[in-house]
Structure 1
Amino acid sequence: MSAFEMGGGGGKSNCRAESLRPPDGTLDWRDLRCTDTYTDTTAGTHVRSVAIAGDVVVSGYSDNTVKVWQISTGSCIKTLTGHTRDVVSVAIAGDVVVSGSRDGTVKVWQISTGSCIKTLTHTHKDWDWVRSVAIDGDLVVSGSDDRKVKVWQISTGSCIKTLKGHRLSVYSVAIAGDVVVSGSADGDVKVWQISTGSCIKTLTEHYCGVNCVAIDGDVVVSGSGDRTVKVWQISTGSCIKTLTGHTDMVYSVAIAGDVIVSGSRDETAKVWQISTGSCIKTLTGARGLAYYLSFFSKRNYVYSVAIAGDVVVSSYANTVKVWSKSHLV
């Protein structure tokens, strides 16, 4: 296990995975262990979002920066600067990172050079944040407090679609091919077709705002202030599973096949199996000193989670944790 510094210094914190290896000794999601901890002890700075692709983790911070980490070496390989307010959402695809900020812009970065190759202005109003971003190939999607979902083409830097229909802020977006999913403070999950610009499904079983969405094929996952994670089938528009267990609002979700990861204000990240509807792992991080926690929070809220292969990434206040099962024999 390694730990390394950012800003004013860093340190290793205790990680705990509340589950044991199954009796038959098989290697599964219950074998997750915390393998890396990246801690920023600069007062007032905290992690707002994380993303992962292969050996790379990306994190967005309240000090307006984006950091790129290499898991295999445990080092920060790039710090991307240019936003003028908090970076609240990040996404990654290959050598490209996308970030959304409270400054109303979406920035597209090239990891290899560390340069910003496009700045996309979602909104010109100071009070409208870009709450969420997603990327798929040459397309970027952003959701904002202006209640709009925008689809951008990276190569041209132009907005090719503006999707309207939500009644309140768009908190989360996801994209897969010609399909965009959005979650809003209005409690709705909407499924859009990019080519036509039309909403093809509205999913309405949450009774609080939808803070996060994810998509994998015909399956959409959403997390809400109602403390639940819901699993939806796009083709039928039906909720096929409601996952309960968090004791406070769900901030973030990620999906990979039959596995869902959710992060919550209750200070835990949970790993779920869709087919059984059961929680197979609860990931926790030891609470840090109050001095090191951000001014936004006095607790280790799990603001963001991401999953890729055998690796889960979660953010706890000022810390990014990497959880892995593939390192076990």
Structure 2
Amino acid sequence: MGFGGDLKYSHDALLKLQDWELRLLETVKKFMVMRVRSDKEYASTLQNLCNQVDKESTCQLDFISNVSKSWLLVVQQTEQLSKIMKTHAEDLNSGPLHRLTMMIKDKQQVKKSFVGVHQQIEAEMYKVTKTELEKLKSSYRQLIKEVNSAKEKYKEAVAKGKETEKAKDRCEKATMKLHMLHNQYVLALKGAQLHQHQYYGTTLPLLLDSLQKMQEEMIKALKGILDEYSQITSLVTEEIVNVHKEIQTSVEQIDPNSEYNDFIDTHRSSEVVEQEIEFDTSLLEENENLQANEIMWNNLTAESLQITISGIYYKFPFKTMNHPFVFTFALLLFISIFLNRY
């Protein structure tokens, strides 16, 4: 199966094929141009992010933070990723994209050359098998008329007995021209048959097979271009994988249980003797009815005390309750709710 053996009469289809392939290559080129631009912009954006983070991270802590160290490594590896993406974009531009541009020019030239050669051999074929034979056939018909006319005049001359030799000579010359043209036409016809056989048997198949060979070579080259594109733009190359491995490792090094050890050592406070909070007995010097640290329950205070107790029970319905326990319980409840959110 091949162009030369199967596409002798499919010239229009071959032209459409080449036009379609050229449009496809132009589409691939446009895509690669946009990919180069996109990767460069992505690399630039990553670099700008890293630069901004560096400016915002100038304030240094006075203790060692594993979170800070891990975050710094994340930023550094992101900057490394930016450099890799920029290099890949440059490699894509100077490699596959450049080769693809040259291929498009070569393919355009191949089509132009194919059309030119095909038109040339087809024109020669038409000339030998059509134009020249039609001219000979036209001359053939004209000489037949001349021979028949010369024969009629010769017969008239013989009948009249006048200028018979002259008429005979004209008849013989016309006949000789006809025979010579007949031979020429026969030879031209054989030549046209041989030319036609050569055209469809050798010349055209060679041209088509050559076109197929060039087409296949370009497909091979395009495969190489796309393979290189795939390798350059791959996000699972060793260098990019290493970047993300470094980031993952840095994240795994964060240990919540030991994160604040250094901070605690740095800001450890000394023990302070707590001042005891006691009832100020001086308040009772002028009033003997009130006792230190005892609730006064009487007709004057019963209503307000009842309201106070009811408020505590409404908020925290426990049978046994005092203010320190309520506060501690509320704090623990808040911490529990906060932690459950994560």
For this structure pair, what is the TM-score category when the shorter chain's length is used for normalisation? Answer: under 0.3
Q: Which one has a bigger Cα radius of gyration?
A: 2
**Higher relative contact order, chain-length normalized (CA < 8 Å, sep 6+):** 2
Greater share of residues in strand? 1
Greater share of residues in helix? 2
Q: TM-score, normalised by structure 2?
A: 0.16
